[in-house]
Amino acid sequence: MDSDALDRATDVADVVVTQVRALDGFLQDREATDRLIVEEPLSIRLDDTLVTTTMRTPGHDLELAVGFCFTEGLLHDAPVVDVAHCAGVRFGRAIPTASAGETKLTQSNTVVVRTAGRAPVPTPRLGTTSSSCGWCGSEQLEALAARLEPVDVAATMDRATLMAVADRARAQQGLFRDTGASHGAAAFDGDANIVVLREDVGRHNAVDKVIGRLHLDDRTMVPSDWGLFVSGRASIEMVQKAWAAGFGTLIAVSAPTALAVDAARRAGMTLAGFVRDTGFNIYSPAPR
C-alpha cells in the first residue's frame, strides 16, 4: 500500500457530540456522531534543511511537500530525485490497516524532498504555517514579479467553461461533504475537465497538493490554457502558486484580495471570483 493511501484513512475522525435541535417549539438535546476533518502538523525538509512546518489534513503529503517547495521557488529548477516520509510514528494517531491481518505501517509527520544537493540551501520559514494562510505582504508582489515571467496566455477561457468547472469541482469534494470543513483545489483543462483535485483544511495546502501531483507527473509547467479552481478566497498566495505553475486562469468561489488582483494583472492571468452557475466577476485583466 502506498503512503498516501495510508494517509487518506486518517483525514477524518468520528466524534460523539451533543446535537441541539428545535423540535415542536422546544430545544432538544440528543447524542450523535459527527465527522470532523483532521488537522496535524507536517514538517517539510528540502535535502538537509527544515523549510517549514504546516498544519494540514493528512493525505497526499508527498505531493504537498513537492508542491510547496516548487511554488515557493525553493527548487530553482533542480529535479526532485526522491520524496518520502521519514521513518517514525505519526503524531498522536495510529495508522489503520487496510485489511485484517495486514502488517501495520507507521509514518512520521515529516517529509523530505531530495534533490541530491542540486537545489540551493533554502532559508527556512520561522514558526508554523497555519492552515488558514501562509505569509503574505506587498513586498511579495515585487519578489514574484522579479522571479516569474508573465503567463503566456493565447486566448481567454470560455466563460461558460469557468462556471462548469466550479460545479464539477464542488461535486468531487467528498471530504467537504463529510465534514463541511475542507478547502478544495483543482486543475482543469480548456474543456472544463478536472485533471486533478485535492482537499485539505488549508487552502494553500490543497493547491500545493494539486501542483505537487502535476510536478511529480513531470508537468513542471502546465499548459497556459489550463486553469486552477479554489473553493475559498483568492489571496496573493493563491495567485503566487498558480503563477509559479504556469496556470493562465485562476477562479475562486469567494472574493480575491486587492493584492491578489494586482498580482494577477502583473502576471497576465485571468482571475475570476464569486464563481457561481449564475455568473462571476472578472478582476483580471482589467476592463478596457
Do 37 and 44 meet the contact criterion of CB atoms below 8 Å apart?
no
Q: Name which of 202, 227, 201 is nearest 214 in CA terms.
A: 227
**Quick one: 84 exposed, middle or buried, by C-beta within 10 A (0-12, 13-18, 19+)?**
middle
Q: Name which of 197, 233, 179, 231 is nearest 33 in CA terms.
A: 179
**Is position 133 annotated as part of the catalytic site?**
yes
Print burial letters for 171-195: b (CB count within 10 Å at least 16), e (below 16): eebebbebbebbbbbbbbbbebeeb
What are the residues whose beta carbons fall under 8 Å from the beta carbon of 122, sequence distance 6 or more? 46, 49, 51, 74
In DSSP notation, 71-102 reads HTT-STT----EEEEPSS--TT-PPPPSSTTP
Catalytic pick from 69, 86, 133, 136? 133
Q: Name which of 118, 93, 124, 123 is nearest 106 in CA terms.
A: 93
Query: Which residues are known to be catalytic?
Result: 133
